[in-house]
């Protein structure tokens, strides 16, 4: 398993994402996510895709990462956080290019606005013919440091033919929807500041 960068105490876990049954998964054998949270409130994530990487369309890497909208339209890895019993939630997008996005929502797909972060997430990539690995470190805003949050993990994998394969911890019945309450299956305990 991966380890959180730094000396903070952390909790670490590995989870399997599931492909939505209505989206193609040809060429992808498995997507796993390892995660941990430090006592200082930094979440570390490692998304690991196993399969035929040649079938996956990856965005071009860049020299300097920046906040960018629309990352989910291509290969992208995502984290959603929601307070139990509250309608508000936030979404983080991490692109293999190094670009990122963070949004806050007042309710289900409502009131979307850029989420202020003290610092940009650190994103690292490694890949071969058989795997893609993306690591991200995110310092949570103080407003998201509560006793516990529900989390959803997901991935959009764009294939070379333009089709998209949609992966998540859990999918709601019917069409794919990463924002749906049914996807928030992971409980993350608050960091101890």
> Tens digits of per-residue pLDDT, 94-127?
999 999 999 999 999 999 999 999 999 999 999 8
Instruction: Work out the burial of residue 85: count CB atoms within 10 Å of its CB; fewer than 13 is exposed, 13-18 middle, 19 or more buried.
Output: exposed
DSSP state of 104: E
Does domain 10-189 correspond to CATH entry 2.60.40.1190?
A: yes
More confident site: 142 or 16: 16
What is the structure's pLDDT at 27?
Answer: 85
Supply the pLDDT for residue 59: 87
Q: Tokens 């670490």 identify what position?
A: 12
The answer on pLDDT for 2 being more than 60 is no
> C-alpha distances in angstroms, 163 versus 47, 56, 58, 113, 154?
20, 10, 13, 28, 17
Using the CB atoms, write b or e for 106-137: b if 16+ within 10 Å.
eeeeeeeeebeeeebbbbeeeeeeeebbbbbb
What are the pLDDT digits (tens) for 140-191? 887 777 668 899 999 999 999 999 999 999 999 999 999 999 999 998 886 6
Q: According to the model, what pLDDT value does residue 12 have?
A: 60
**Predicted pLDDT of residue 7:** 32
Q: What is the DSSP letter of 120?
A: P
Quick one: average pLDDT of 82-105?
A: 94
Task: Tell me the pLDDT band of 91, cut-offs 50, 70 and 90.
Answer: very high
What tens digit of pLDDT does each residue of 33-60 get? 999 988 888 899 999 999 999 999 998 8
Tell me the CA end-to-end span of the chain in Å, nearest whole number. Answer: 25
Residue of 121 and 6 predicted with greater confidence: 121
Mark 148-177 as b/e (b = at least 16 C-beta within 10 Å). Answer: ebbbbbbbbbbbeeeebbbbbbebeeeebb
What's the pTM?
Answer: 0.90
Domain ranges of the chain: 10-189
Task: Examine the pLDDT at 192 and tell me if it is beyond 70.
Answer: no
User: Which long-range contacts does 116-119 make (Cβ < 8 Å, 24+ apart)?
Assistant: 116/141, 117/141
Q: 21: which DSSP letter? A: T
């Amino acid at each position: 398993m991966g380890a959180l960068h730094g000396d903070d105490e952390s909790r670490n876990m590995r989870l399997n994402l599931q492909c939505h049954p209505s989206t193609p998964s040809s060429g992808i054998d498995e997507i796993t996510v390892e995660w941990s949270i430090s006592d200082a409130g930094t979440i570390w994530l490692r998304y690991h895709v196993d399969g035929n990487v040649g079938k996956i369309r990856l965005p071009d890497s860049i020299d300097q990462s920046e906040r960018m909208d629309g990352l989910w339209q291509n290969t992208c890895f995502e984290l959603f956080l929601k307070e139990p019993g509250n309608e508000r939630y936030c979404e983080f997008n991490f692109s293999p290019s190094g670009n990122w996005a963070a949004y806050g929502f007042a309710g289900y797909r409502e009131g979307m606005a850029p989420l202020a972060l003290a610092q940009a997430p650190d994103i690292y990539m490694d890949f071969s013919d058989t795997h893609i690995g993306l690591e991200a470190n995110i310092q949570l805003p103080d407003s998201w440091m509560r006793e516990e949050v529900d989390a959803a993990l997901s991935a959009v994998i764009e294939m070379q033919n333009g089709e998209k394969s949609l992966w998540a911890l859990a999918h709601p019945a019917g069409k794919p929807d990463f924002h749906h309450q049914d996807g928030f299956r992971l409980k993350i305990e608050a960091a101890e500041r």
